[in-house]
Structure 1
Amino acid sequence: MLDFKNNSSLTCKASPRSSPVSFKKSLFQLLKSEWQTVKEHNPSIQNGLEMLLCYPGFHALILHRGAHWLYRRNLFLLARLISTLNRFLTGIEIHPGAMIGERVFIAHGLGVVIGETAIVGDGTLIYQGVTLGGTGKEKEKRHPTLGKNVVVGPGAKVLGNIEIGDNVYIGTESVVLRNVPENSLAIGIPARIVYSPFGTEIGLSRELQPDLEAQTIKYLFERIKELEAQIESLKAEVNASSIEIKEDVTRKSNLLIEEFLDGAGI
């Protein structure tokens, strides 16, 4: 269940949802799913041998599956050794305790860091330079939980024990510190939530990934128009008040002149 208490800008109520990570598949089935995911969503791959030898995101997930399997059986040192080897070979650091769902795709991958208690939902797309880390304030669950079909843009940072809903897009270089509801955008430093009509299936489809720059410019343009309208309204009110004051001064001046001419004197 998403907790929106930490985000005063949200008024919607959280609704319960299923776990973002599939637990029913075997290790072999997960590896097969990853193989198919990379083939489907990376058009530059020429053949299976190239993918097997030359794609660090795929290598990182394979090694993590093995490390996580050992970690769940309390073989912590061996699991950590594999994760260290993973970082050395791929430039991707995934703690063996992190829970990663199926059909997850790490694009490019260099500089990706995923913490021990992080949960990455099925169908998530993670670009290079992403950090799913902690803030140093929590003790137990201290890393984020990502829902299904989340897209985390290059260089984005998702920090702390927060929940990211299904079908969320986190913009490039954004820093997310609060919960994000499903079917929405989170952009900026710190990230602000922008609702969008994505529907319910974003997945890895490039066609449905928003043009963040265009949307930001559009939002700023609309905001400028609103402010200009407010300024014009204030000008009209000020002008109306000035006219009333001038008319009142003129009327009082005329009244004083009339009284003087009628003999009231000084």
Structure 2
Amino acid sequence: MFSRIKEDINSVFDRDPAARTSFEVILNYPGLHAIWIHRLSYRLWCADWKLIARTISTFSRWLTGIEIHPGAKLGRRVFIDHGMGIVIGETAEVGNDVTLYHGVTLGGTSWKAGKRHPTLEDNVVIGAGAQVLGPITIGKGGKVGSNSVVVKDLPANATAVGIPGRIVPDKHSKDENQQREEVAKKYGFDAYAVSHDNPDPVAKAIGRLLDHMHLMDDRVSELCKEINTLGGDICPKNLPELRVGEFVEDEKAAAERRENKVASFDPEI
């Protein structure tokens, strides 16, 4: 049990740069609380203690703002970010390493018993406010854009946006997409839903920036090799890794310096 809890906490650090300490995560992440309580209610549901399971589920909804039916199946390292307003239906199945943002609904489209809620395979990301409805399957690595409504199956590694959800065509090769993801990880950026043809202008700009950074890295590396071949001695080491947290700390330090200057300012001078 404790190993699963530790695994859940580590998954938060992997996907949320705002997380600082394990103690902070344990106290202040309702998505984790909802998942931990669901594990208890799910076991009771499977043991045919239906009423107690539903009661615990209702308490979890009151506590976290996240409604997970005790019959839903959740995989390992599921990360619910913010969480408020999330609804996961009874026959929903969520795979490993899935990320759900606030306002997501994994709902049904029928009142008949049986499988009526979505199945999310491993590494799926569902954006804020998205609705995934019916007994459909979101393939491994699939992404659903914010506020989209998806009612049909989504192939693996595809991105769906809009109402109704439609697959965003990707005219670039798999290798190019992989390069973009690698550059994003190198600089500490989560390239969620950043595809080449994403209609979001901000996402498109970020994607182009990642492409530019990848090209510049290659050019600088080639230039260093050529100069070293001619007898020079530059770039003996790899470039230092950049992390988003470093810039956050720099901003904090700069803010503190500004506050100190203001506090030490004497208007009479």
TM-score (norm 1): 0.66
- Of 192, 195, 199, which residue of structure 2 is paired with 1:216? 199
1:132 to 100, 103, 106: 106
Aligned residues: 191
Structure showing greater radius of gyration is 1
Identity of aligned residues (%): 46
Q: Report if aligned partners of 1:94, 1:113 keep a CA contact under 8 Å in 2.
A: yes
Give the residue type in structure 2 aligned to 1:111: G
Q: 2: CA distance between counterparts of 1:78 and 1:174?
A: 34
Contact 2:117-2:135 within 8 A present in 1 as well: yes
SS in 2 for 1:49: helix
Q: 1:22-171, aligned counterparts within 5 Å?
A: 27-136=1-110, 138-171=112-145
Cα shift at 1:30: 3.0
Per mean C-alpha deviation after superposition, the further-off stretch among 84-93 and 190-199 is 190-199
Deviation at 1:211, TM superposition (A): 3.5
One-letter code aligned to 1:208: A
Deviation at 1:68, TM superposition (A): 0.7
The structural deviation recorded for 1:194 is 2.1
How many angstroms apart in 2 are the aligned matches of 1:113 and 1:217?
26
Q: Distance in 2 between matches of 1:179 and 1:138?
A: 20
SS at match of 2:6: helix
Using structure 2 for the length normalisation, give the TM-score. 0.65
Alignment gaps of 5+ in structure 1: 1-26, 219-266
- How well do the aligned residues superpose, as a CA RMSD in angstroms? 2.5
1:175-190 aligned at under 5 Å gives the runs 175-190=149-164
Residue 193 in structure 1 maps to residue 167 in structure 2: yes
Structure showing greater relative contact order (alpha-carbon pairs closer than 8 Å, 6 or more residues apart): 1
TM-fit CA distance, 1:31: 2.7
Q: Report the CA distance shift for 1:143/1:186 in structure 2 as closer, same or farther (over 3 A).
A: same
Specify the alignment match of 1:24 in structure 2.
Answer: none
Alpha-carbon displacement from aligned partner over 1:60-118 (angstroms, at most 9, x marks no partner): 11111111111111111111111001000000000000000001100000000000000
